[in-house]
Amino acid sequence: MKRAFALFISLTAYVCLLAGCWSQRELTDLAFVIAIGLDKTEEGEYLASLQVVNPGNVAGAMPSGGGAGGVPVSIYTSTGDSVSEASRKATEKVSRLLYYAHTNLVVVSEELAREGLDEVFDVMERHHQFRTTAKLVIARGHSAKEVLSVLTPIDKISARQIIQMLKFSELAWGETSNIDIWRTVRDIAVSQRNPVMTGVAIEGDPRKGKRQENVQSSVPDARIKLDGLALFKNDRLVRWVDGPTARGMMWVLERIQHTNLTVPWEGKKEAIGYRTTRSKTKVKAKIKNGRPSISIHIIAEGELSESRIPINLADTSLLFRLEKELERSAKEDVTKAIKAAQREKTDVFGFGAAVHRAAPRLWKKIEKEWHDRYFPELDVTVTTDMHIRRTRMWDKPY
């Protein structure tokens, strides 16, 4: 009897310890929000555009991007005095409960970015479902809603295509930044660095890009493309930079993995192509007479990717001259980037952090005036070491 009673008590205790599904949600009750677009209306309200997956169309979709029964995503919009209000009002148009745990992309309009993003980041950090690992881009020349509405031909979901473009463009080209919300908030929260974000634009007609026919043609009527870097001062967009200037910023930020440089040779522009395979950037601060200065040293290795003129690449003295020309080109890009940031009085490079490490006491004195007074007048020295490790298959172009 005692044995049976002890067994009963044990089983009862185990039952009490078992976890229950008190917060369960059926999949058929959830609307998975993959991306969020944020704009401002003429009345000053937030316009939230939610890209929601159409599960049936994605599951049975063809490689072209369309599904058996229609497009893979739907866009739901709503307005509100705050981002939270706008997103909750969207439930009036959706037959399921909005679920943000899989939101991987946030697109912010240029207009909203110039006004400031403090309120946007606040609600995203507080939301219990939202992940701050979501990627962040700025819609350039178009609204965030238009960007999310374009159907893409390779990836079924356009948000995923943008995320993949950010990843591989930074890896292969070096003029864009693959940044998430957590890193952006961290840069805004500290006084030693300001954030940099990648721009997204639309090539073609945005109205035609919404239609399924856009992914049924070898030449889509509208394409999404990455377009330059947005420089921020605190939480406000202040300037766009493109091309070599954007690449110069990535050099300083040590975000260059692979990129291409072209240099003139014997009177011919862009005669020699060079592809980096690895690089490293060292940023150091020096203090002299109470004034900080910065030294930047860039070391890169790579290979010749193209020669448009007949030269003998087996000649080591010629390769040495080519390295010097590549160093001059990289230094020019970095100098342009630094001057662009100094004109806008925004330290996007983290030079303030270098000064803080070198002289903590001095930093406490100049911290509040760093961006507006000290950074624009900062003396920056740039040195580069570019090494040609390989010339690929040919030493002498045919």
pLDDT in tens, 199-217: 999 999 999 999 989 988 8
Q: Which of 255, 109, 121, 110 is nearest to 186 (CA)?
A: 121
Band the pLDDT of 22: cuts 50, 70, 90: low
Sheet strands (E) in the chain: 30-40, 46-53, 73-80, 97-99, 105-109, 135-139, 196-204, 222-233, 236-241, 260-265, 268-288, 291-307, 379-390
Residue 1 has pLDDT above 80, yes or no: no
Residues 375 and 273 in one domain: yes
Same domain, 191 and 215: yes
Helix then strand then coil, in percent of the chain rounded to 5, is 40, 30, 30
| pTM (predicted TM-score) | 0.90
**Do the domain assignments include residue 274?**
yes
> Which pLDDT score is estimated for 67?
44
Q: Are residues 170 and 296 in the same domain?
A: no
Q: Do 232 and 107 belong to one domain?
A: yes
Tens of pLDDT, residue by residue over 326-354, are 999 999 999 999 999 999 999 999 999 99
Pair (256, 227) in one structural domain: no
Mean pLDDT of the chain, nearest integer: 91
What CATH code is carried by the domain that includes residue 329? 3.30.300.210
Taking alpha carbons only, the member of 198, 219, 199 closest to residue 208 is 219
**Do 37 and 87 lie in a common domain?**
yes
- Give a yes or no: residue 17 inside a domain: no
* Residue 297, in any domain of the structure: yes
What is the C-alpha to C-alpha distance for residues 53 and 120, in angstroms, rounded to an integer? 23
Domains identified in the chain, total number: 2
Sign, CA dihedral 200-206-211-214, equals negative
Instruction: Note whether 185 and 120 are within 8 A (CB).
Output: no
Tokens standing for residue 50:
């939610």
For 370, which DSSP code? I
Same domain (yes/no): 199, 330? no
Where a domain ends, among 194, 220, 241? 241
Is 16 part of any domain?
no
In a domain, 395, yes or no: no
Whether 278 and 235 share a structural domain = no
Looking at the structure, tell me whether residues 212 and 278 fall in a common domain: no
What local confidence, expressed as pLDDT, does residue 252 receive?
97
Q: How many CB atoms lie within 10 A of CB 321?
A: 12
What's the confidence (pLDDT) of residue 109? 97
Tally the residues of the chain.
398
**Residue 17: what pLDDT?**
63
Evaluate whether residue 362 is within a structural domain: yes
Q: What local confidence, expressed as pLDDT, does residue 64 receive?
A: 46
pLDDT band at 18 (very low <50, low <70, confident <90, very high): low
State whether 189 and 59 are in the same domain: yes
Query: Domain check: are 196 and 309 in the same one?
Result: no
Range scoring the smallest mean pLDDT among 221-235, 254-268, 291-305: 254-268
The domain containing residue 149 runs over which residues? 27-241
Answer with the one of 201, 221, 241 that is the final residue of a domain: 241
Examine the domain organization and report whether 155 and 179 are in the same domain.
yes
Among 201, 226, 241, residue at a domain's last position: 241
With respect to residue 260, please indicate whether it lies within any of the assigned structural domains: yes
- Tell me whether residue 14 is in a domain: no
Helix axes 118-126, 181-189, angle to 10 degrees: 120
